Amino acid sequence: MIHVSENTMPSSETLVTEYVQLFQKLYKLQVKVLKERLSQNNDLSNTQKIKVVFFVSLDCKFAAKPLFEKMLKDDLFEPLIVVVPLIIWGGGTKNLPT
């Protein structure tokens, strides 16, 4: 965990690293729980994969990429990436309207 004193703030790189590590820990815990539940059914052949969607606008902002890559290797998940295109309006970058 990050400890913040009154005089110092952690860098954004430290915060992103901690964020990714937290997601990885949560992923491992969730997989463990799901596999335990599935093993109680004793018939894993009929189990559908868990579909997970990641919405990404920029590759450099895809902090959950390590999690996505782990899900790709795990038979329990079917991860997908949806690319949210960016357009330039006026002088700033904005998401497309829905």
pLDDT at 28: 85
DSSP states of 61-87:
G-TTHHHHHHHHH-TTEEEEEEE--EE
Between CA 74 and CA 24 the distance in angstroms is 14
Residue found under tokens 């052949």: 45
DSSP states of 25-43:
HHHHHHHHHHHHHHHHHS-
pLDDT in tens, 1-60: 555 555 676 777 777 788 778 888 888 888 888 778 777 765 555 667 888 998 888 767
Domain boundaries along the sequence of the chain: 12-95
User: Beta strand 86-89 with 92-95: parallel, antiparallel or unpaired?
Assistant: antiparallel
Whether the Cβ atoms of residue 49 and residue 34 lie closer than 8 Å to each other:
no
